[in-house]
Structure 1
Amino acid sequence: MKAFAIFGRIPNYWRWLRMLSSLRHFEQSEIAQRRLEIIQFYEQFGEAATQQAFGADRKVISRWRQRLTRSQGQLQALIPRSTRPHRVRRSAIPPEIIEFIRALREKYPRMGKDKIKLFLDRFCHAHGFHCLSVSTIGNVIKKHRLFFYRSGRLYHDPGSAWAQKNARKIKRFRVRKSPTPQAYGYVLSDTVERIVDGIKYYFYNGIDAKMKFALTLMYPRLNSQNNQDFYQRFKRVYPWEIHIWQTDNGKENLGDFESALEKDHVPHVFSYPHCPKINAFIERYNRTIQEEFIDNHLELLTDPKLFAAELADYLIFYNSQRPHQSLNMLSPLDDLVQKGLMSQMSLTSTLATQYSVVGKRLQRQFSSICLLSFPNTRLRAL
């Protein structure tokens, strides 16, 4: 208002102000400047020369000149207008499909559109809907904002100088690059830490590099005794024979754990410090288990039994139902069945869902293992 009080007495103040605004927008548009150049060339040399030089006929130039006339000479009128139709096509996706995608994303927030399509196709066939493409599923997720995952967090680096300052110098057999096994039995393991209400929770993770069969168990402490217990429980549910075990250089990977490997004649190899790419398979699984389960169930950590039950359900889903891109969108157990390495009869029908079935034996083993891994003792507070 103060500026208007000073300049408002200038004759045609608003007209000059609109002209300056028009010039500013005109200078930002190369197309508008090109059109003005064509108009000036047309007025000087005529239609034939303009047609030959720029390929613009008289009708097009007349429309541009009319726009200038109607806008009282404002060059902003030469800026191309939006060609978006007034009435656009509306999406005809049934609300049942949207709710199905929403429910799946709420339960598994990090599941991508490629994996969702496999479940959605079965749902559409069962309910008589047309199947959606992968890109359409992605558009539905973006349009309806079906993003339920929590923000990421920093990860502890067990190979850092702080973690290694008191470590003993031990000669270890190390691998120089990420493994590419041609057979099953190459297992990698690692741990993930979470702190909730001043209490530390450690998640021991293990995965087969080729089969993609994985297990996660929660423990109250990070030590070799718990890692040995994790190894024994991994053997109970692992559907193959372990040939080699790869870890990082953490203290939990020595002591009782290494003795258990030596007793079973399982070679123990280590990665180089500060080289997470060597542990690419387990690092990727660490991210998956955190984004798809742990970070979405932190409130259940105060109830170990309930958390163990939910963890068992997720592990069953991960190993017997969840599609894996490296397995041609099959689950680890489905891949074994398809290759004839596991009988379909071993997967007894118990959880008859619209996706697949899971065996009684598998469900019982995962539930008992997840529950027994976390003792009913008072947790050590920080």
Structure 2
Amino acid sequence: MPAYAVEFTTERGLQRTQFTLDDDRPLGPQVRQILEELRGTGVVISGTAEDELSVVWGGRDLDTTQAPQQLGINPQRTIELHMKRRARAVKIPAVAPFVPKGAYAAAVSGMAGALLAWLVCSTITDLSDALPTYARLDLAVGGMIGVFAGGFIAGSDALRRRTSLPLGVLFGVLLGLVGGVAGGAAGAGLGGVLAPRLTPPGFVVARILAWVVLGSALGLTLGMRWWQDDERRTVDGAGYGALAGLVAGILYSLPGPSEFWQALAFVILGAGVGAGVCAPALRRSVAILELERGSRGRIGLTRLREWGLLNGESVALERDGATVASVVCESTRCRIVPSGAGVRVSGKTVSAPTELVNEDRIAIGDAQYRFRRRRRVSA
């Protein structure tokens, strides 16, 4: 076994002695054996009770869980034993429940799209030639809600995650149209089957059921936009859409100012579908990465940039159009991998992959991102 020169400081000053080390055994147990031999001869390395031992070779701290051969060290240089001040443990904020801003943004975008659909429908007063029956009118209204709400919801999601806006809007419009027409047709068919058997109060129930079917169909088809990322978004959308349709149908059937109740019903349906296809998916994320501050100051809901991080996914962080770092999640652990200079995490410059902890702030140029965990790290 090779003999290493081991250097350390005692009350008498700097000392050096020779010890043999096994290249195939972890360094830690061998260093502890060296310390025991030194104590046996009355030699104690200078330090305080709060200090911890550091093993240095060639100017770098050694990982004592590895063997000398793994560490790439040899007897040509001295092994130095130092007692240094133990680093204080940094208190990591506890993981606390919160509602991601993307959930609000999705609901608001759905509301805006559905309200626009209501405005368009309410301005067209004479459709007797084009839509001579209530069934065709239901199809047209369902398709209108689907087109506008779907385009707004999918477009808002694309903006929030910095993906293609035109592609997001296109998918939203097409899927929303399919869901709206299908939901309208199913609702109209249900009403046609039940109508001969219904009493006047029964017509109200049939109308409410038609809204439930419409909301469920819209949520189901819009959720398919993200099928490859999370197939559960179709079920989420259908469930939230059905619940929103129930509320909308009740409001739509209320007596009084019909235009107000109609507008409110449209808005509730759009908000429910938007929240359904986005909010549960964000809640299932390992963590949320949010752009907290940009070059123009703090970020509001209209300029929101936010990502739900899942295992196996990564998000590229850019500066001046070039990627300078990526946030990668694996096995519920997330780390930042710099690929350029000027990346800081909670005030410290990082140049190597670094694990992120709850409430870390990532600064890249003028931009600052906030990292918040939704789930604790798996053991």
TM-score bucket (shorter structure) = under 0.3
In the superposition, the TM-score normalised over structure 2's length comes to 0.21
In the superposition, the TM-score normalised over structure 1's length comes to 0.21
| Structure in which a larger fraction of residues adopt helix | 1
| Structure in which a larger fraction of residues adopt strand | 2
